[in-house]
Amino acid sequence: MYDHVLLPTDGSEAAMDAENEAFEITTTNDATLHVLFVVDETAGPLNVRGGDERFEEAEAEGEKTVAEIGERATQAGVGDVTEVVRQGTPHEEILEYADEHCDLVVMGTRGRSGLDRQLLGSVTEKVVRRSNPSVLTVRVGSEGT
C-alpha cells in the first residue's frame, strides 16, 4: 500500500512517539523509511551573531538524530532507510520532500488545542493541511507507542 514513508523529526518526544508507527507501517508494507530533520533557518538563535557556527551545530545534531533513528529502524526490522538533513522552514521542507519522495507522512503531535495552537502554530498542522501524500499523526503518549 505504501512504498515510501516519511518520518520528519526534530528529536522531540512527539517525533519519537511517531517512530514506532512509522517502523510498523514500513515493515508491514516492505517500504523505504525516509527520516528527515530540518534545520530551521527561521529560528531566532540561529539568526544572530555566530549564526554560521550555530547552523553547523544544528546540522550536526540533525545528522546525529537521523542516524540514531536509522539505527533503531534497522533494529526494528526496517529494510531500507534514507537519512536526510535539510535547511529551511520545517513545514515547507517536509512538504517538498514528501511530494518528491513519499506516499505517507508519519508525524508526532503535541496535542495542543484552542488558543495555544492558534498562537503558536504547528508544523504538523501545516503539513496535514497542505500535504499531497496522506499524513498519519501520532499524539504524544498515545497508547501503543
Q: What is the pLDDT of residue 50?
A: 56
Q: What is the pLDDT of residue 93?
A: 98
Give 12's DSSP letter.
Answer: S
pLDDT over threshold 60, residue 114: no
The contacts of residue 110 (CB under 8 Å, 6+ apart) are 14, 122, 139, 140
3-state helix, strand, coil in the chain (%, to 5): 50, 25, 25
In tens, the pLDDT along 4-23 reads 999 999 988 888 889 999 99
Cα gap 43→29, rounded to integer Å? 36
In tens, the pLDDT along 14-62 reads 888 899 999 999 999 999 999 999 999 887 655 555 557 888 999 999 9
Cα gap 56→61, rounded to integer Å? 9
